[in-house]
Amino acid sequence: SAVISQKPSRDICQRGTSLTIQCQVDSQVTMMFWYRQQPGQSLTLIATANQGSEATYESGFVIDKFPISRPNLTFSTLTVSNMSPEDSSIYLCSVGSNSGRAGEQYFGPGTRLTVT
């Protein structure tokens, strides 16, 4: 399994500002994913990030609000733009298993974001 780190681990931000979250993996992986977990809720996939191509966003999430970069096979960033209190959530990155099994993913510890 991959070891995944995220920065920052938590942040408190003012509305209208943007925050970039970093996700670093200890090995090369093809697919990386970004999820959101709103307070008291389960996880929701934001987008899939493949190296060298545009991220694929799920319904309800748009690139202008959540731009993603994937410059290489071990790193990705998610930016939460023009934040509002409704963006207060835990943001998690995950990576797919190199075995290709679609349901097997490994998650980072998450970034806890509070927007005031």
Partner 1 sequence: DAKTTQPPSMDCAEGRAANLPCNHSTISGNEYVYWYRQIHSQGPQYIIHGLKNNETNEMASLIITEDRKSSTLILPHATLRDTAVYYCIVRRHYGGSQGNLIFGKGTKLSVKP
Residue whose entry in the numeric block shows the structure tokens 């200890």 = 26
Interface positions, 47-66, toward partner 1 (CB under 8 A): 47-48, 56, 58
94 binds partner 1 (CB under 8 A): yes
Round to whole Å and give the CA distance between 53 and 32: 12
Contact yes or no for 36/80 (Cβ under 8 A): no
Supply the DSSP symbol for 9.
Answer: S
Among 8, 38, 82, 104, binds partner 1 (CB under 8 A): 104
81 binds partner 1 (CB under 8 A): no
45 binds partner 1 (CB under 8 A): yes
115 binds partner 1 (CB under 8 A): no
